Structure 1
Amino acid sequence: MTAAPAPATALRVLIHGGGIGGLTLATALARRGHTVEVAELREELDALGVGIIQPTNALHVMREIGVLDACLAAGFAWDTLTIADPAGTTLAAIPQPRMADAPAANGIPRPALARILADAARAAGARLRLGTTITELKDDGTGVDVTLSDGGQSRHDLVVGFDGIGSPLRTRLYGDTYAPEYTGFANWRVTVPRPPEVRGVVMGTAGPEAKALLTPITGELMYLGAVFAEKEDFRPAPERAHEQLAARLRMFSGPVADALAAVTDPSAVVYSRISQVSVEEPWHVGRVVLAGDAAHASTPHLAQGAAMAVEDALVLAEALDAEAGVPEALTAWEARRRPRAMWVQALSRAVLRQETGTPTTPEEDELLKVGVPGAAHVLAQPY
């Protein structure tokens, strides 16, 4: 763990959103001696969904904030991506790159990661205010006066919106200009037992018709994920969601079919539409800044959404260390982050189109020359 430098001037920072990015930033800033509050609408810092992949660049951030060992202990690390046919026969085994001394990748249950990051933020000295959100905000150029829905009123040097793809703070800044854009595709995921032979991500492909992903998240569990084109108003039937998923993956046998056979509870299936957000204007207005999915949500095809958020967090903390004031830090931060985050978004969308047989643009064709394996090497470079 890198020792956090003491700030020249301790700042008062409010983080709107207690997800992966917000809690990472809270830890990074509080460890540097800043006064940090996190306003989170949920009453508890639980996490919906199944598991999440932490690629090597995300794990590098976890090392920097002191929680890498906890993440590895709670999850399942691996270093090889396996490509398989619908029957489960291996077509290729691709070693994944490492960033510095971080492992190549780790799968972890989302609730476990939420607990680890919340514990780290509190231990660093951040205050987590649950069940509250911003109701009023006024930036006078030298600070931001905030009123929360729990009645709290305070003044901050910086307000950071890590409040997700549906960001209320983004709406406050830009209205509906950057509402989430549905891509036409949705993600199906379900947690199942992990067989011993699945020791890393296994990507089963059946051409453009379907792709299934098996991702270990503990020694005992993995999740099965699949992406399909779905109408925007479609929702799985509550009583037979598992059957609908099985029907979509009917061309698979082997480990994918075995995983599906283990799913008997339709409520275990997690369905989420895939949308994206691209804030084309500056991500900061005065002393209020958007980060993570609030600024640049992408499709999950590079497994980099949460990684981009935690990179945003650490780089923002570093920019506040390096620059003379908050406005200068926000400008420098965005100059570092925008090219990398938007490249991830563009390539992720191109991969989605390619894998589902959707026509791609010439620009996307150029990006696809890098490919998913190539992208992993690009993103293992310093951010």
Structure 2
Amino acid sequence: MASPLRVLIHGGGIGGLTLATALARRGHHVEVAEIRDEVEALGVGIIQPSNALHVMREIGVLDACLRAGFEWEILTIADPTGNTLAEIPQPRMDDAPPNNGIPRPALAGLLNAAAVDAGAVIRFGTTITELTDDGTGVDVTLSDGSTGRWDLVVGFDGIGSPLRTRLYGDRYVPEYTGFANWRVTVPRQPQVRGVVMGTAGQDAKALLTPITEELMYLGAVFAEPEDFRPDPERAHEQLKERLTMFSGPIAEALATVTDPASVVYSRISQVTVEDAWHVGRVVLAGDAAHASTPHLAQGAAMAVEDALVLAQSLDAESDVAAALKAWEDRRRPRAMWVQAVSRAVLKQETGTPTTPEEDELLKIGIPGAAHVLVKPY
């Protein structure tokens, strides 16, 4: 597109800040409306698979991610005592590393800095209160009382996306899968130099993921009632009760957890917007459009791919409408495939009945999926 665009991004998380950086580096005028009052990130750590690291390279922050995190290339499958059952090398996309574990707060900080350095404006404590798209631009009122007119509004505002509700009402709401993720940051054991998946069959699986030289996180998924919340006084004990079948490294990691407040609990939900992801000049991306379960470690990777491909589509097409169509034509098949495979893996690992279509998807396996996802997006 020949002329710089005015773009408002609703949401300053991983996807929103990646898009802000990619667009600002291309000369567009970018503002980010972020409802939180400062740079922060909930949760513990995150895995950046090779396709996500490829995007980080494209926006100029790959080296910063690797310095802040822990690069790794071998997935180890272990029995409940910690004995190795298999070591699986992970594929890479072009010259990006296979994987990087990184603390979420560190990633949020470096992406925010990259966006600001590129020229984007981050407006904290701000959200959209009014929005009118007249076909040639979008008039927006923000919660601080300011107004503006934008060529494009992008909703990277998460699985509970307020912008999605504005576009579609209650047609697309998060669907709870029946499972929840328990995670806690612990000291990294020297032998944990890549993800270690401890498996006790369908009873339990637990992952140790290095995120710095000093730290790793322990994660595990269990079926939980929708209204369940950990006891704030004994959440660490409740996690240990769910993992009593493990000894070895996982038990050693659990032994270091003494503070119930350090346990992060999140229900696993998904969203699939079946209609077009864009309405006029307003577009949904990342979890706002296609949130998936975490079983391929691809949620944030899909968001940053969305961001980079949107920036590329705006480069390549003559107008916003054509760019949004080209973007969705590229992104929908890949994101929907990730969502379907990830949900099938969740059901397989927890002994939940799968459909014939899911059985076909499961034939590729997690290693096979990793190889698919390092192909061009």
TM-score, normalisation: structure 1: 0.98
Residue of structure 2 equivalent to 1:338: 332
Q: Say whether 1:315 aligns with 2:309.
A: yes
Q: CA deviation at 1:152?
A: 1.2
Residue of structure 1 equivalent to 2:23: 29
Which residue type is aligned with residue 264 of structure 1? T
Q: List alignment gaps of at least 5 residues for structure 2.
A: none
Q: Secondary structure at the match of 1:37?
A: strand
Residue of structure 2 equivalent to 1:371: 365
Q: Secondary structure at the match of 1:54?
A: strand
Q: Secondary structure at the match of 1:44?
A: coil
- Structure 2: how far apart are the matches of 1:55 and 1:295? 21
- Structure 1: how far apart are the matches of 2:209 and 2:189? 11
Residue of structure 1 equivalent to 2:170: 176
Residue of structure 2 equivalent to 1:348: 342
Q: CA deviation at 1:45?
A: 1.4
Q: Aligned to 1:120, which of 93, 110, 114?
A: 114
- Structure 2: how far apart are the matches of 1:323 and 1:87? 55
Q: Aligned to 2:206, which of 212, 215, 229?
A: 212
- Structure 2: how far apart are the matches of 1:104 and 1:149? 41
- Structure 2: how far apart are the matches of 1:9 and 1:346? 38
Q: Aligned to 1:166, which of 142, 160, 167?
A: 160
Which residue type is aligned with residue 35 of structure 1? H
For 1:31-70, list aligned pairs within 5 A.
31-70=25-64
Q: Aligned to 1:266, which of 260, 265, 276?
A: 260
Residue of structure 1 equivalent to 2:103: 109
Q: CA deviation at 1:330?
A: 0.3
- Structure 2: how far apart are the matches of 1:159 and 1:48? 25
- Structure 2: how far apart are the matches of 1:260 and 1:9? 55
Q: Secondary structure at the match of 1:92?
A: strand
CA deviation profile, 1:33-53 (whole Å, cap 9, x unmatched): 000000000001111110000
Residue of structure 2 equivalent to 1:4: none
CA deviation profile, 1:186-233 (whole Å, cap 9, x unmatched): 000000000110000000000011000000000000000000000000
Q: List alignment gaps of at least 5 residues for structure 1.
A: 1-6
For 1:220-235, list aligned pairs within 5 A.
220-235=214-229
CA deviation profile, 1:3-45 (whole Å, cap 9, x unmatched): xxxx511000000000000000000000000000000000011
Which residue type is aligned with residue 60 of structure 1? H
Which residue type is aligned with residue 26 of structure 2? R
Which residue type is aligned with residue 36 of structure 1? V
- Structure 1: how far apart are the matches of 2:15 and 2:160? 15
Residue of structure 1 equivalent to 2:144: 150
- Structure 2: how far apart are the matches of 1:210 and 1:324? 52
CA deviation profile, 1:73-111 (whole Å, cap 9, x unmatched): 000000110000000000000000010110000000000
Which residue type is aligned with residue 39 of structure 1? A
Residue of structure 2 equivalent to 1:239: 233
Q: CA deviation at 1:272?
A: 0.2
Which residue type is aligned with residue 99 of structure 1? M
Q: Say whether 1:294 aligns with 2:325.
A: no
- Single out whichever of 118-127 and 7-16 deviates more from structure 2: 7-16
Q: CA deviation at 1:315?
A: 0.1
Which residue type is aligned with residue 17 of structure 1? G
Which residue type is aligned with residue 349 of structure 1? R
4+ aligned runs moved over 6 Å, structure 1? none
Which residue type is aligned with residue 271 of structure 1? Y
Residue of structure 1 equivalent to 2:244: 250
- Structure 2: how far apart are the matches of 1:179 and 1:186? 17
- Structure 2: how far apart are the matches of 1:201 and 1:152? 46
- Structure 1: how far apart are the matches of 2:189 and 2:174? 37
Aligned residues: 377
- Structure 2: how far apart are the matches of 1:172 and 1:221? 40
- Structure 2: how far apart are the matches of 1:235 and 1:88? 29
Q: Aligned to 1:357, which of 351, 356, 365?
A: 351
- Structure 2: how far apart are the matches of 1:169 and 1:8? 28
Q: Say whether 1:135 aligns with 2:135.
A: no
RMSD of aligned alpha carbons: 0.4
For 1:272-283, list aligned pairs within 5 A.
272-283=266-277
Which residue type is aligned with residue 240 of structure 2? A
Q: Secondary structure at the match of 2:170?
A: coil
